Amino acid sequence: MATNSKIEWTTHTFNPWIGCTEVSPGCAHCYARDMMERRYHRVQWGAGQPRSRTTADYWKQPARWQRQAQANGQRERVFCASLADWLDDEVPIDWLADLLKLIETTPHLDWLLLTKRLEHWSDRLQAVSRLTHDDATIASTWLEGNAPVNVWLGTTVENQAQAERRVPRLLALPATLCFLSCEPLLEAINLLPYLSTVADANGTCALESNRLHWIICGGESGKEARSFDLQWARSLREQCQTAGVAFFFKQTGAHAIDSSQSHPVRRSLQDPKGGNITTLPEDLQVREIPTLLQPAPVERSKKQKCVPLPIKEVL
């Protein structure tokens, strides 16, 4: 549950830098741009505009979360870059090297790395690897096929075209757990070919299955929000149920419709940001989060294989 974030599917949010460039239809009403460029005039969005690194003090927060999680014997999730994209190739490479180092030194935190730019994964990690000259860093070992155990790798899918473009890219990369953010969802999508198979009798779903393990879904927020049909979310919920995959319905957004009904969606069911789960349509009050049974964190030099177990924590 969010404690240091307004986003319900994470515990914390951390922005190593701010700024980005729109890359696909899901970016059309980028809330980060609205806030950081238009409201606070802090960063100019777009190609060629410098990104803004957050302060050294701010960068100390994850170490505090790590100590707290370790002391409590719990794992906590950190959504990385709600105001940027961690694989943005206009970000200085040493910033990315610093981020990966931070991830490496916080093994009790599960870092949720969401991107619309998976095509840059290899080039960016190779550049970090060349910069650090160290073959035991996350970048080097990940490039060799050893996914960091405390990274959940995700991509955004807003329509079927992006699902077909981005999901195969995601599933081709080494990852402890793969997830999708289908927000803002702009049309009905079929993910069945990519969802993980149901766990075996021991509840184990091998990493090698290269399938999605978690789907987050929601409509668009803001004054210019595009329509979101609740039937699209129901379809994804059913696809996930069929495949035994965790499903998280985040929000209806500001312009929800329900094509299964002849009357418009009641305002009481339009909690644009989904802060209160009870205001969501009853059949979409589903907020599952996959949990991993992970081995204790090990030194980076000992390469490890990890096996995600799709045991669900239901909020």
**Which residues are near ligand SF4 by CB under 6 A?**
20, 22-23, 27, 30, 32-33, 84-85, 116
Q: Least distance in Å: CB of 162 to ligand SF4?
A: 12
The residue among 25 and 281 lying less far from ligand SF4, judged by its C-beta, is 25
Q: CA 215 to CA 244: how far, in whole Å?
A: 11
101 three-state secondary structure: helix
Are 286 and 239 in contact by the 8 Å Cβ rule? The answer is: no
Helix (H) or strand (E) holding 17: strand 17-18
Instruction: Please identify, using beta-carbon distances, which residue of 107 and 152 lies nearer to ligand SF4.
Output: 152
As beta bridge partners, residue 217 has 182, 249
CB of 113 or CB of 149, closer to ligand SF4: 113
Cis peptide before 184 (omega within 30 of 0): yes
Residue 183 Cβ vs ligand SF4, minimum distance, rounded to whole Å? 10
Tell me if 106 sits within 8 A of 138, measured CB to CB: no
Checking phi first, is residue 289 left (phi over 0); if not, alpha (psi -120 to 50) or beta?
beta
Residue 220 CB, nearest approach to ligand SF4 (Å): 11
**Biggest CA pair distance of the chain:** 62
Q: Which is nearer to ligand SF4, 157 or 243 (CB)?
A: 157
Smallest distance, ligand SF4 to C-beta of residue 207, A: 27
The residue (of 85 and 104) whose beta carbon lies closer to ligand SF4 is 85
- Minimal distance in Å, beta carbon 247 to ligand SF4? 22
Backbone angles phi, psi at 106, to 5 degrees: -130, 65
The nearer residue to ligand SF4, 222 or 281, going by C-beta atoms, is 222
Query: Least distance from C-beta 134 to ligand SF4, angstroms?
Result: 29
Strand partners, 287: 248
